[in-house]
Amino acid sequence: MADTSLPANATEKRAARVRWLLLAPALLVLLFAASGPLLITLVYSMLTPGDYGGVIWQPSADAWFNVVLQRDIFDDTLSWSDAHLSIFWRSVKLSLMTTVGCIIFGFPTAYFIATRPKKQRDLWMLLIIIPFWTNILIRTFAVVELIRNEGTINTVLMWSGIIDAPIQMLFTEFSILVGMIYVYLPLMVLPLYASMERLDFSLVEAGYDLYATRMKVLRRIILPLVKPGVVAGSILVFVPSLGAYVTPRVMGGGNQLMIGNLIELQFGQGRNWPLGAALSITLLAIVMVALMVYVRTAGSEEPKHG
Amino acid sequence: MTAAISVRNLRKVYPGSPEVVALADASIDIEDNEFFTLLGPSGCGKTTLLRMIAGFEHPTSGTLTMHGKDLANLPPYQRPVNTVFQSYALFPHMTVAQNIGFGLEMLGKPKAEIKQTVGEMMELVKMSQMADRQTGQISGGQQQRVALARALAPRPRVLLLDEPLSALDFKLRKDMQLELKRLQMETGITFIFVTHDQEEALTMSDRIAVMSAGTIRQIGGPRDIYDHPAERFVADFIGDTNFVPAEVAASKGTDADVTLSSGKVIAARMPEGEAMQGKVTLAVRPEHASICPEAEALLPGTLSEIVYFGTDTHYHVALDDGTGFVVRRQNRPDEISGFSTGDRIGVQFAPGVGQVLRD
């Protein structure tokens, strides 16, 4: 129902207005849910902390300073902030180990499911997904129950006489790792399964036929072809692992902090919102750099499908 | 000399309810340098047999030997056998040359040798220009050639081909049939070829095994199978056939005299090792019979239809005994049959042309 009586430029203006109106919901979401909060975080990171939390509107670079440096309380000399750096290092290390662990456990799982008859696959997938639907706290405490000193594993080991005293597994980096692998495993299995399901298994047979042993078929044929799934799964696992909060808190018992816990501390007991904000942005930067490095190295060998 | 591939009472049963017998007691000896075809409709067990030779399936019972050596416990990657897959199964993440060299690489051949052999193979299948292409960038016919080159490159003792031409269009298929035959002659490798296309089987094979329902029905050369089908299934599956009711009057070895419904007696062939009595069915190929005036007929009837096919004409005759009979006659510009639909007419065929079918 274009109004032909209107001059051409008026019709154009109206079309432009309609276009903006249609774009509005997406723009609002981007503004209020993504870039807006990020911008606030960025601004807060450059302000002075208030005494009881919050911020005082007074520009300050202290927060950014404190991300990696610390000032000695006696002689004011600057030094690397060992506490923060070790937390960063632990976070990156545990996240990498979680990702690798998820690949190690997730790959055979996904392969197993993908090679079942079609009717059974959904059932197996359901078994993978059900824990995924369960609250993360419940899942984490389930692992706690297994590995705590009076837990299932220690009880069985002591009862069978293999050990005399319980093995301290809870509240260690190991326990965080176990918890995170368990919690994030479905995020690895799902994309891996999706790419394996599409795998043409006659290619695997062709590999065997051409004198490739099982290991070589895995390395030369299956892995390159399901690589998109491995890449996607790794990103899905690595990113949330790096910012993980609940699992390290419960499994680490408060003395094995990861970045997520450190950030939470600043907004809570620490009452240092600018530092928390600066740490959040740092986390974001670490994730972005890691992803860029990863995608670049993984993508360089990406097969060119014709 | 021991056979290249010897199959003895091979059986494959897939469990389940009901269990599926994919192959029931198959026995074949395939000689060196032979172009051997497994022919049958889908589900006849031909692919199962091929996959067992390749090592992808394990026999339920029976033995499988290659030059006298038992293959049963060898995984596919230890069998000197290569396969050309129906879907070609080219590795999509490798170039044409990498695909062809894969087998040699896995065998641990030196780089220089791989390069040379890959070059020769690409020459052989006329794909030299395409070495660095990705497999997705070449046509179906070219993919077919690459699959062939890849399977031939490691110089297998036996090459298995699982309906490799079925995805090609008619013209390309004709070319590839000749090409395959040429490759087999040039390389001297034993080819075991699986197809459901009887014409393909007849054109290329040295010998054919006709299979149905998990059983081998007949083994023989193309001519032998076509001219002397041993049983109804074979006669029906390969080419067109008239089934003529008859009765055995006398028989000695593979020679027999049979009485037709018209009361006339004619010489026919008995399947090997059979001595059937009483009522039998005779197979007569349409082009082995001819039409004639009623007076000279072996089997009298009425000409019901004339169908023109360009190269030849089919005459459908409604015989007086109630059965139908088709005569195929090659068209020549200087000859006309002189019969028209509705005429009283007769069918004739020479002594020894009819083949008595096993029940």
Q: Which long-range contacts (CB under 8 A, 24 or more apart) does B110-118 make?
A: B117/B153, B118/B153
Cβ contact, residue pair A209, B83, below 8 Å: yes
Rounded Cα–Cα distance for residues A60 and A45 (Å)? 8
Give the gap in angstroms from C-alpha A140 to the nearest C-alpha of chain B.
40
3-state secondary structure (DSSP) of residue B330:
strand
Closest in A206, A213, A306 to B85, CB measured:
A206
Query: Facing residues of B270 across strands?
Result: none
Cite the beta strand spans of B93-231 per DSSP E. Answer: 158-162, 190-195, 207-212, 215-220
DSSP-derived pairing of the beta strands B158-162 and B81-84? parallel
Rounded Cα–Cα distance for residues B81 and B160 (Å)? 7
Q: Please state, for a pLDDT cut of 90, what percent of chain A lies above it.
A: 46
Cβ contact, residue pair B107, A212, below 8 Å: no
Contact call for residues B329 and B337 (beta carbons, < 8 A): yes
Contact call for residues A44 and A277 (beta carbons, < 8 A): yes
Which of B77, B81, B157 is the mutation pick for testing A, counting most A CBs within 10 A? B77
Instruction: Find residues 198-217 of chain A whose CB sits inside 8 Å of chain B.
Output: 200, 202-203, 205-213, 216
Give the gap in angstroms from C-alpha A204 to the nearest C-alpha of chain B.
9
- Residue A190: phi and psi, rounded to 5, are -60, -55
Written as one letter, the residue type at B92 is: P
Give the pLDDT of residue A3: 52
A with B: how many residue pairs have Cβ under 8 Å apart?
A: 73
Cite the beta strand spans of chain B per DSSP E. Answer: 5-14, 20-30, 35-39, 61-66, 69-70, 81-84, 158-162, 190-195, 207-212, 215-220, 242-252, 255-260, 265-269, 279-284, 289-292, 299-308, 312-319, 324-330, 344-349, 355-356
Q: How far is CA B120 from CA B15, B116, B335, in A?
A: 45, 6, 52
- Residue A240: phi and psi, rounded to 5, are -70, -30
What confidence tier does A106 reach under pLDDT thresholds 50, 70, 90?
very high
Give the pLDDT of residue B337: 65
Contact call for residues B345 and B302 (beta carbons, < 8 A): yes
Closest in A203, A208, A216 to B91, CB measured:
A203
Give the pLDDT of residue A203: 93
Q: Which two tokens stand for residue B141?
A: 């016919």
Give the pLDDT of residue A306: 36
Q: How far is CA A24 from CA A11, A20, A27, A32, in A?
A: 20, 6, 5, 12
From chain A, the residues in CB contact with B133 under 8 A are: 306
3-state secondary structure (DSSP) of residue B254:
coil
Q: What is the pLDDT of residues A46-69, one digit of tens each?
A: 999 988 888 888 998 888 888 888
Q: What is residue B270's DSSP assignment?
A: P
CB atoms within 10 A of CB A121: 16
Closest in B55, B92, B107 to A305, CB measured:
B92
Give, rounded to a whole angstrom, the gap between the first and last alpha carbons of chain A: 46
3-state secondary structure (DSSP) of residue A178:
helix
From chain A, the residues in CB contact with B157 under 8 A are: none
Rounded Cα–Cα distance for residues B286 and B354 (Å)? 11
Question: Domain coordinates of chain B in residue numbers?
Answer: 5-227, 240-356
Q: Is the pLDDT of residue A84 over 70?
A: yes
Written as one letter, the residue type at B243 is: F
Which CATH number does the domain B5-227 belong to among 1.10.3720.10, 3.40.50.300, 3.40.190.10, 3.40.50.1110?
Answer: 3.40.50.300
Cβ contact, residue pair B77, A211, below 8 Å: yes
From chain A, the residues in CB contact with B136 under 8 A are: 305-306
Q: What is the pLDDT of residues A148-194, one digit of tens each?
A: 888 888 889 888 888 888 888 888 888 999 999 999 999 999 999 99
Query: Facing residues of B162 across strands?
Result: B194
From chain B, the residues in CB contact with A213 under 8 A are: 77, 106
Question: What angle do the packed helices A259-267 and A273-300 form, to 10 degrees?
Answer: 160
From chain B, the residues in CB contact with A206 under 8 A are: 83, 85, 89-91
Question: Of B187, B191, B189, B185, nearest to B164 (Cα)?
Answer: B191
In chain A, which residue's Cα lies nearest the Cα of B93?
A303
Rounded Cα–Cα distance for residues A254 and A248 (Å)? 8
Give the gap in angstroms from C-alpha A201 to the nearest C-alpha of chain B.
9
Q: Which long-range contacts (CB under 8 A, 24 or more apart) does A218-225 make?
A: A220/B102, A221/B91, A222/A111, A224/A301, A224/A303, A224/B93, A225/A195, A225/A199, A225/A303, A225/B92, A225/B93
Cβ contact, residue pair B89, A200, below 8 Å: yes
Angle at the Cα of B37 from the Cα atoms of B169 and B140, rounded to 5 degrees: 25
What confidence tier does A303 reach under pLDDT thresholds 50, 70, 90?
very low
Cite the beta strand spans of B67-129 per DSSP E. Answer: 69-70, 81-84
> Which of A6-10, A34-38, A150-154, B214-218 bottoms out in mean pLDDT, i.e. has the lowest?
A6-10
Q: Which two tokens stand for residue A224?
A: 């390159």
Cβ contact, residue pair B76, A209, below 8 Å: yes
Contact call for residues B100 and B121 (beta carbons, < 8 A): yes
3-state secondary structure (DSSP) of residue B314:
strand
In chain A, which residue's Cα lies nearest the Cα of B156?
A210
What letters, b where the CB count within 10 A reaches 16 and e where it falls short, cover A49-71?
beeeeebeeeeeebbbebbeebe
Rounded Cα–Cα distance for residues A292 and A282 (Å)? 15
Give the gap in angstroms from C-alpha B75 to the nearest C-alpha of chain A.
8
Cβ contact, residue pair A224, B93, below 8 Å: yes
Spell out the residues 6+ positions from residue A287 whose beta carbon is closer than 8 angstroms to its own.
A239, A242, A243
The separation between CA A255 and the C-alpha centre of its own chain, rounded to angstroms, equals 21
Give the gap in angstroms from C-alpha A190 to the nearest C-alpha of chain B.
23
Q: Which three-class secondary structure string do you get for B188-221?
A: CCEEEEEECCHHHHHHHCCEEEEEECCEEEEEEC
Question: Of B358, B91, B71, B29, nearest to B219 (Cα)?
Answer: B29
Q: What is the pLDDT of residues A234-276, one digit of tens each?
A: 999 999 999 888 889 888 887 888 999 999 999 988 889 999 9
The residue assigned the tokens 């001059």 is A7
Give the gap in angstroms from C-alpha A232 to the nearest C-alpha of chain B.
18
CB atoms within 10 A of CB B277: 9
Cβ contact, residue pair B83, A213, below 8 Å: no
Rounded Cα–Cα distance for residues B71 and B7 (Å)? 10
Give the gap in angstroms from C-alpha B102 to the nearest C-alpha of chain A.
7
Question: Of B55, B58, B186, nearest to B120 (Cα)?
Answer: B186
Spell out the residues 6+ positions from residue A21 whose beta carbon is closer than 8 angstroms to its own.
none
Give the pLDDT of residue B10: 87
Angle at the Cα of B156 from the Cα atoms of B150 and B157, rounded to 5 degrees: 155
Q: What is the pLDDT of residues B232-249, one digit of tens each?
A: 888 888 888 888 888 887
What confidence tier does A300 reach under pLDDT thresholds 50, 70, 90?
low
Rounded Cα–Cα distance for residues A229 and A197 (Å)? 10
From chain A, the residues in CB contact with B83 under 8 A are: 205-206, 209
Give the gap in angstroms from C-alpha A207 to the nearest C-alpha of chain B.
8
Which CATH number does the domain B240-356 belong to among 1.10.510.10, 2.40.50.100, 3.20.20.140, 3.40.50.300?
Answer: 2.40.50.100
Q: Is the pLDDT of residue A4 over 80?
A: no
Cβ contact, residue pair A206, B89, below 8 Å: yes
Cβ contact, residue pair A202, B55, below 8 Å: no
Cβ contact, residue pair A205, B77, below 8 Å: no
**Chain B residues with CB-CB distance to A under 8 A?**
54-56, 75-78, 81-83, 85, 87, 89-93, 102-103, 106-107, 133-137, 150-151, 154
Cβ of A221 under 8 Å from any chain B Cβ? yes
Closest in A209, A213, A304 to B82, CB measured:
A209
pLDDT under 70 in chain B at which residues? 1, 335-337, 359
Contact call for residues B99 and B47 (beta carbons, < 8 A): no
